[in-house]
Structure 1
Amino acid sequence: MAEHEAGVAPGRLEEGRLLKELEAIHRTRHETLLYGSADALRTHTQRMAELEEEYLRRHPQRAPTAGRTREGARARTSGG
């Protein structure tokens, strides 16, 4: 995606800016899904994927919270 279309390439963003972009795109996702045009949703989806992929590339060893895993979800629903 060209920089003028959707902002700076994720790999060129410094860490704080990457996190701010991720927060903003997740905050606007629901509204874009409900009210955006097909093109807007496609662009939003592509940009979100690019930002998320860059975050995961930078943080491959991130530790998910126990409650956010399948095992943790099963424990919540089974009461244990």
Structure 2
Amino acid sequence: MKEHDERDTTMTGVDPRQLDDQQLMKELETIHRTRHDTFLYGSDDALRVHDERTAELEGEYLRRNPHRLVAAGRTRAGARERDAEE
């Protein structure tokens, strides 16, 4: 019997492509909510896995929503306008 080597493999959850839009948003909300604690207190491995999962989920969101609404104040030009007003 051949042994299965699981080094360098990580189980990070359901493939984002298999999630419906509501499930994807829930996963994104959860991962964004846990980011700060993982960054400050998680092990190097936990932070790496969190980074990978965040990239997977955000990448899928952007793939599905290439023309998403972008608030003017969240652009570089919008930030410059805010600075000029202050």
**SS at structure 1 position matched to 2:35:** helix
Distance in 2 (alpha carbons) for counterparts of 1:77 and 1:28: 30
Match of 1:14 among 13, 20, 24: 20
Residue 58 of structure 1: which of 25, 40, 64 is its match?
Answer: 64
**Partner of residue 32, structure 1:** 38
Alignment-derived partner of residue 67 in structure 1? 73
State percent identity of aligned pairs. 59
Taking only aligned residues, the RMSD between alpha carbons, in angstroms, comes to: 1.5
* TM-score of the superposed pair, with normalisation by structure 1: 0.92
Bigger share in helix: 1
Return the index of the structure with the highest Cα Rg: 2
Structure 2, unpaired ranges of 5+: 1-8
Question: How many residue pairs get matched?
Answer: 78
2-structure distance, mates of 1:69, 1:49: 21
Letter in 2 for 1:20: K
Superposed displacement of residue 63, structure 1: 2.0
